Amino acid sequence: MTEIFKKHWSEYKYSKNMLQDALIKHVMDLMPYRMSDEGEVLEIIMNIKESDEQSWINAWSNMAANLQNRAHKFEKAGKLISAGSSYLRASTYWRVSLMYFGDWQDPRMQEFSQRSKDCYDRALELNGYPGEAIRIPYENTYLPGHFYRSPYAKNKKTPLLIVIPGRDTWADDTIWVTDAAIKRGIHALTFDGPGQGMALRLQDLKFRPDFENVLGPVIDFAQKQEEVDSKQIGAMGMSFGGFLVARGAAFDDRLKFIISDPGNMNWGGMIAGRLEKALKMPAMIRPNMIDFVLKDYEWKHGATDKTIINELQKFDNTKIVPNIKTKTLVLDGSAEVTYGAAKKFYDALTCPKDYLLFDENSTAQQHTQMGGYATGTEYIMNWIEDNF
């Protein structure tokens, strides 16, 4: 394809801290879904110190608290649409305040998680958005999530898309996918699994490598919904979720298709290799960003400095990829942080498969189409419509 521009937006950085930069770009791209507003986000950015966890949580939560208070006043005054709008953005900022904050014993971890949930659910109600909170039975507890019924569904039994979030963002952040699905007459279901979002912070559930034992109960739940065509259920995993969904499909053939965004065959080995280098650095001289990432992985996987490498090495799909029989769409981006891994995964698949690369001309070339959600949904949903 002929190059349109010589410089590309993915080179622009809001922060030298890679994770903070990615999260900011993610929040900026939630604006079309009314989950953030430019002035608010830029105001927050101006008050964040690079790689500083306290300034991060304070800046985002201050804005969230301001919006939640405003929403309360609007609601009391009977201005329900305005209240719902403020609640929705407050929910986003409460969540994001915890995405670069690793003190899991801090009481704000649970408090802000609950506030995010409460604001989001209240916004759905006041805005009349077709979504409701759900609890998916899982072992001796549950997985929190949302079920979105498409108002455009043409039949009593309609296809369903299950959306699996990644390691850093939460189920509620996948709105760009679920909203696109319901507009096309497809129901959608999202959830926080072990190690993710609410399930981690409110229930202390940690990541597990045998994701088939997580995805299985979710499919069970989905098939029991009276509006869902049980033979027309697909699943899309984003970021780390793209690795997990492939693991689940290798042991469960009930899905019509899966989407791995981006594909990765040995996610754990790749991350373990990076963290091994970090562990060799004395803690006193370890850069803040690297130290945060190391501790964040240990928290979410229930590990320590001594066990984290061994734990991550369990997240390797190399041997079970040939077991995947479900049709698979593998997504990739020319600016992916793991560029090359998706194509390697695609080549190893023996099932019906498609590969989609977002290049610089698409403006969706970054990790999980971040910053290019509009473009991403157009191509992804076209494929989904063709495969349901």
Q: Give pLDDT tens digits for 325-340.
A: 999 999 999 999 888 9
Q: Is pLDDT above 70 for 2?
A: no
**CATH for 52:** 1.20.1440.110
User: Is residue 51 a part of any domain in this protein?
Assistant: yes
Give me the chain's average pLDDT, please: 95
pLDDT digits (tens, 9 = 90+) for 93-108: 999 999 999 999 999 9
**CATH for 167:** 3.40.50.1820
Q: Is pLDDT above 80 for 224?
A: yes
User: Is residue 304 a part of any domain in this protein?
Assistant: no
pLDDT digits (tens, 9 = 90+) for 64-89: 999 999 999 999 999 999 999 999 99
User: Is residue 288 a part of any domain in this protein?
Assistant: no
- Domain span at residue 114 reads 15-129
Q: Answer yes or no: do 49 and 190 share one domain.
A: no
Q: Answer yes or no: do 93 and 137 share one domain.
A: no
User: Is residue 305 a part of any domain in this protein?
Assistant: no
Q: Answer yes or no: do 198 and 261 share one domain.
A: yes
User: Is residue 309 a part of any domain in this protein?
Assistant: no
Q: Answer yes or no: do 173 and 202 share one domain.
A: yes
> What is the predicted pLDDT for the residue at 287?
85
Among 111, 129, 147, the domain boundary falls at 129
Q: Answer yes or no: do 102 and 149 share one domain.
A: no
Q: Is pLDDT above 90 for 4?
A: no
Least confident of 177-186, 282-291, 372-381: 282-291
Among 107, 129, 151, the domain boundary falls at 129
Structural domain total, the chain: 2
Q: What phi, psi does 33 have (nearest 5°)?
A: -100, 10
Q: How sure is the predictor about 6, in pLDDT bands with cuts at 50, 70 and 90?
A: confident
Q: Answer yes or no: do 86 and 140 share one domain.
A: no
Q: Is pLDDT above 80 for 1?
A: no
Q: Answer yes or no: do 59 and 167 share one domain.
A: no
Q: Answer yes or no: do 340 and 226 share one domain.
A: yes
Instruction: Tell me the mean pLDDT in the region 183-195.
Output: 98
User: Is residue 299 a part of any domain in this protein?
Assistant: no
Q: Answer yes or no: do 143 and 200 share one domain.
A: yes
Share of the chain above pLDDT 90, in %: 90
User: Is residue 327 a part of any domain in this protein?
Assistant: yes
User: Is residue 194 a part of any domain in this protein?
Assistant: yes
Q: Answer yes or no: do 72 and 215 share one domain.
A: no
Instruction: Tell me the mean pLDDT in the region 42-51.
Output: 95
Q: Answer yes or no: do 368 and 225 share one domain.
A: yes
Query: What is the pTM for the complete model shown?
Result: 0.96
pLDDT digits (tens, 9 = 90+) for 239-290: 999 999 999 999 999 999 999 999 999 999 999 988 988 888 887 788 888 8
Q: Answer yes or no: do 69 and 182 share one domain.
A: no
Share of the chain above pLDDT 70, in %: 99
Instruction: Tell me the mean pLDDT in the region 371-382.
Output: 97
Among 129, 145, 163, the domain boundary falls at 129
